[in-house]
Amino acid sequence: MNFQQLRIIREAVRCNFNLTEVGNALFTSQSGVSKHIKDLEDELGVELFVRKGKRLLGLTDPGRELLEIVERILLDANNIKNLVEQYSKRDEGQLTVIATHTQARYALPKVITEFKKTFPKVHLKLHQAGPSEIVSMLLSGEADIGVATEALADVTRLDSFPYYTWHHAVIVPAGHPLEKVQPLTLQALAAYPIVTYHEGLTGRARIDQSFAEAGITPDIVMSALDADVIKTYVELGMGIGIIASMAFNPAKDTDLRLLKCPHLFSANTTYIALRRGHYLRSFAYRFIELCSPALDEAAVRAGISPQPIDSEN
């Protein structure tokens, strides 16, 4: 048994059991992948894969149990590498952060700027993805730190920490009748077409929940991945917008007006998440602390979750 065989088991699942893709991912041939699998199965005395002819269709029961052990072994092997580099190259290395568009665009720029000033030799890779892909990349070890509002807190194999809380707000073109409505109501919003986020992104579930509880069916004429797109179509007159309040910049969004309405939609919490058992370099803990001073290395290692920052204050 060797590490290459273990990597092939893991990669086969990631590549949906396509051995050509497994070979490409591990820089080897399809025949080499097949031989490694056969050698491992012969050594263990059990079949790890369900087959149809020469095709792999999935994992057998022993294969599924083995995969959990393989994941732990490969995680710890990577942890050893990170541990050694922690002492041999203390302020050098790579940090991979994956975040939703909203977090990457509005919450993290100041953090990343400060981090790069402190650790100029650390190569920071910032990926943008949806919540489900963020979870996947954290669990696979492809990312060190994840930042999102949805999904992270519900995954038991992740350690998630509250980062900050925020509310949705309404945006309208300057001079819109809603500017004079005090206080804003869901009924007043529902009188206009609405542009907001896609389902499953940036607290959309909270928006839907508020309207549903009020027995109102809003006319959502368009949904988008990020606030910049929403603002563009509100400016074009497609409707009013509902966005994360921190996505509004009065210096740049001069043709729009932000109408705060925390009484209409429940507060959202954005989380920072790590894969449980994943060894982090000291600069990774520093990145988290720059996000939230309460989340210092001691607190994160101990799994302490302080109250999140309120972005409205």
Q: State mean pLDDT over 256-277.
A: 95
Does 311 score more than 90 pLDDT?
no
> Which stretch of 19-23, 79-83, 298-302 has the lowest confidence by average pLDDT?
79-83
DSSP bridge pairs for 148: 271
Does 111 score more than 90 pLDDT?
yes
The Cβ-side half-sphere exposure at 12, using a 13 Å CA radius, reads 28
Asked whether 71 and 12 are in contact (CB, 8 A), the reply is: no
Q: Which pLDDT score, from 0 to 100, does residue 61 have?
A: 92
Tell which wins on pLDDT, 87 or 138.
Answer: 138
Domain 168-260 annotated CATH 3.40.190.10:
yes
- Position 312, amino acid: E
Tell which wins on pLDDT, 89 or 193.
Answer: 193
Q: Which pLDDT score, from 0 to 100, does residue 209 have?
A: 96
Does 313 score more than 60 pLDDT?
no
Per-residue pLDDT of 207-261, as tens digits, reads: 999 999 999 999 999 999 889 999 999 999 999 999 999 999 999 999 999 999 9
Report helix, strand or coil for 140.
helix
Tell me where in the chain the CATH 3.40.190.10 domain(s) lie: 92-163+269-310, 168-260
Per-residue pLDDT of 118-135, as tens digits, reads: 999 999 999 999 999 999
Q: Which pLDDT score, from 0 to 100, does residue 205 have?
A: 94
pLDDT, the chain, mean: 91
Task: Give the class (CATH, top level) of 92-163+269-310.
Answer: alpha beta
DSSP state for residue 293 in the 8-state scheme? T
Q: Which pLDDT score, from 0 to 100, does residue 240 have?
A: 98
Q: State mean pLDDT over 27-56.
A: 89
DSSP bridge pairs for 197: 224
The Cβ-side half-sphere exposure at 139, using a 13 Å CA radius, reads 16
Q: Where are the alpha helices (DSSP H) in the chain?
A: 3-14, 19-25, 30-44, 61-88, 101-102, 109-118, 131-140, 186-190, 204-213, 227-235, 282-291, 297-302
Q: State mean pLDDT over 259-279.
A: 93
The Cβ-side half-sphere exposure at 214, using a 13 Å CA radius, reads 18
Looking at the chain, the whole-number percentage of residues with pLDDT higher than 70 is 96
Q: State mean pLDDT over 265-291.
A: 93
Q: For the beta carbon of residue 56, count every other beta carbon within 10 angstroms.
A: 23
Give the β-pairing of 168-173 and 256-260. antiparallel
Domain 3-84 annotated CATH 3.40.1360.10:
no
Does 99 score more than 90 pLDDT?
yes
Length of the chain: 313
Q: For the beta carbon of residue 182, count every other beta carbon within 10 angstroms.
A: 8
DSSP bridge pairs for 97: 126, 145
DSSP state for residue 227 in the 8-state scheme? H
Q: Which pLDDT score, from 0 to 100, does residue 241 have?
A: 98
Distance CA 168, CA 261 (A): 7
Q: State mean pLDDT over 287-305.
A: 90
Q: pLDDT-derived band of residue 312, with 50, 70 and 90 as boundaries?
A: low
Q: Which pLDDT score, from 0 to 100, does residue 309 have?
A: 77
Per-residue burial over 101-140, b = 16 or more CB atoms within 10 Å of its CB, e = otherwise: bbbbbbbbeebbeebeeebeebeeebebbbbebbbbbbbb
